[in-house]
Structure 1
Amino acid sequence: MSINPEPLAGLLAGKVGLVTGIANGSSIAAGCARLFRAAGAELAVTHLNERALAHVRPVAEEVGAALLLPLDVTDDAALEAVFEAIRARWGRLDFLLHSIAFCPKEDLHGRVVDSSRQGFATAMDVSVHSFIRMARLAEPLMDRGGCLLTVSYYGSEKVVDHYNVMGPVKAALEASVRYLAAELGPRGIRVNALSPGPLKTRAASGIDHFDDLIEAARSRAPARRLVDIAEVGAIAAGLVSDFSTGVTGNIAYVDGGYHVVD
């Protein structure tokens, strides 16, 4: 389903946002970046490394990103440099999107009970604690309030075949959303998570038997279809806007209703 961006025009005018986790033009973060820009936001965009840059640059150019910065979230100096660049450019930040997750393949494709200590720790660090580190760095730039967004999945609360160790990891991410919302709320900073249904993205392709997840969502969701990245982006734009100032600590499902069926 296509989204008409015209009703969003001006919704985020004057706001500055950071978008992390764009892998290519088909990624969830790319869909969000397009809708943020259509709503009038100025954007900073990150890329993982030089190899990823070729896939991210076209999206950054499409959305007119003012900053295109390298970011490996396992490198504290690189993360700090991103927020320093934003401070130098705008002096503030109104919202950010954290759309980053990783688990070593051998742990992702195995049973949770067989996951290695290092693999589990890596998945938690990259997929969860990086969001907490971003929140800490964003806080002083959000002196007028703001919104932090991350991306979760239904496997956080229900056992989904082949999602494996990412289930506990996403559960930790959603718990972090709630605690950050409570801690940062007095500063006017809201914290929410998007929970899209399965999407054919580069990141999702690493999940074993992913086509089975896609078919289950398509056939069993009340909407009887998959959602697309533009629909996720539209919800993201609404959540970071001033129309959602009363929404924090929330998990926003964008899955055609799949999460309500057994």
Structure 2
Amino acid sequence: MGEFASLKGKKGLVVGIANDRSIAYACARDFRAQGAELAVTYLNEKAKSYVEPLARDLDCSLFIPCDVREPGQLEAVFERIGAEWGELDFLLHSIAFAPREDLHGRVVDCSQAGFAQAMDVSCHSFIRMARLAEPLMKNGGCLLTVSFYGAEKVVEHYNLMGPVKAALEASVRYLAAELGPQGIRVHALSPGPLKTRAASGIDRFDELMENAAARAPQHQLADIRDVGATAALLVSDRSRTLTGNIIRIDAGYHIVG
């Protein structure tokens, strides 16, 4: 991409790196390659050992714990960014969670507690990040989250995450409308099925991937590198008039799925 989507001088927060096969890591790698300075979070001490070497490779300025389920941790991330950087140009929210028993059952059978937890971690945490980022984006900025085709259409075995991701995509549109006057742009990246650690929790996911690849117009699937390249373009000034979009990175699967 070269200088086409240069991010020199920009500062970004990446939330959701679990390992080197994470969508968040692929995006962070592209952000860094285009010159951005990065802050990266890790979930807990167990996750730290996996994420810390990746953060070093990315030459991250800030490496901060963040479990959005723990009171105060998300706020502490933004407080540190405010104290050390004083500003923020973009962020990537790439986290989702649902209790296994709720994720693997029918939507109609999901528990109230499981649904609420899935919505809190996977959707409302993005809204919270937007609220905390707003005062730091003094010259505008870009907020990215990660969705999936199952938000729009029924995807077998995606179950509870379908309604949750649909709420996330609706939130993208409302946040884009509300934050647009401040020059803050908002998008959801919606790749097709990808082999990630998060996807491994979805029942019969390999079968879903094979079916998607067979049906996609390009007869292949996108990979995390494609998502990273798209994310870097979206947070760059080249995309300054784009906002409120669900960006499908799926080799065309969404037009036939």
1:8 to partner: Cα distance: 4.6
CA offset at residue 10 of structure 1? Answer: 6.8
Cα distance in 2 for residues equivalent to 1:111 and 1:76: 30
- Tell me, yes or no, if the aligned pair for 1:20 and 1:98 is still in contact at 8 Å: yes
Q: Give the one of 187, 190, 213 matched to 2:208.
A: 213
1:244 corresponds to which letter in structure 2?
A: S
* Alignment-derived partner of residue 190 in structure 2: 195
Contact between 1:28 and 1:233, CA under 8 Å: does it hold in 2?
yes
Does residue 97 in structure 1 map to residue 92 in structure 2?
yes
Instruction: Among all aligned residue pairs of Structure 1 and Structure 2, give the percentage whose two residues are the same amino acid.
Output: 69
Task: Report the Cα offset of residue 218 of structure 1.
Answer: 1.4
Query: Aligned AA for 1:139?
Result: E
Aligned to 2:124: 129
- How far apart, in 2, do the equivalents of 1:149 and 1:136 lie? 14
The one-character-per-residue Cα deviations of 1:28-53 (angstroms, maximum 9, x if unpaired) are: 00000000000100000000000001
Counterpart position of 2:80: 85
Is 1:113 the counterpart of 2:112 in the alignment? no
Partner of 2:234: 239
Displacement of 1:9 in angstroms is: 7.3
Residue of structure 1 in register with 2:217 after alignment: 222
Choose from 69, 72, 77 the match for 1:74: 69
- Residues in 2 aligned to 1:116 and 1:47: alpha-carbon distance in whole angstroms: 28
Inter-partner Cα distance in structure 1 for 2:148 and 2:84: 33
Whether 1:15 and 2:10 are equivalent positions in the alignment is: yes
Which whole-Å deviations, capped at 9, do the CAs of 1:121-153 have from their partners, x for residues lacking one?
Answer: 000000000000000000000011000000000
Counterpart in the other structure of 1:204: 199
Rate the CA distance shift 1:8–1:58 in 2: closer, same or farther, 3 A: farther
TM alignment of 1:148-187, pairs within 5 A: 148-187=143-182
Query: Contact 1:27–1:229 (CA<8 Å) still a contact in 2?
Result: yes
1:145 aligns with 2:131: no
- Can you give the 5+ residue segments of structure 1 that lack an aligned partner in the other structure? none
Q: CA offsets per residue over residues 198-251 of structure 1, 9 Å max, x none? A: 110000000000011110121111111121111100000000000001111100
Tell me by how many angstroms 1:87 deviates.
1.0
Q: 1:261 to 1:54 in 2, by over 3 A?
A: same
Secondary structure of 2:177's partner?
A: helix
Whole-angstrom CA distance in 2 between matches of 1:185 and 1:41: 23
Aligned counterparts of 2:58 and 2:4: Cα–Cα separation in 1: 14
Distance 1:66 1:117 in 2: 40
Residue of structure 2 in register with 1:63 after alignment: 58
Please give the per-residue CA displacement for 1:164-191, whole angstroms capped at 9, x wherever unaligned: 0100000000000000001111111011
Aligned residues of 1:196 and 1:254 also touching (Cα < 8 A)? yes
Distance 1:194 1:9 in 2: 20
State the secondary structure of the residue aligned to 1:76.
Answer: coil
Find the residue that maps to 1:100 and give its secondary structure. coil
> Which of residues 21, 24, 27 is equivalent to 1:26?
21
Question: Is contact 2:5-2:232 (8 Å) kept?
Answer: no
Q: Is the 8 A contact 2:186 2:244 kept in 1?
A: yes
**Superposition deviation, residue 54 in structure 1:** 1.0
CA RMSD of aligned residues (A): 1.0
Structure 1: 4+ residue segments shifted above 6 A: none
Report the count of equivalent residues. Answer: 257
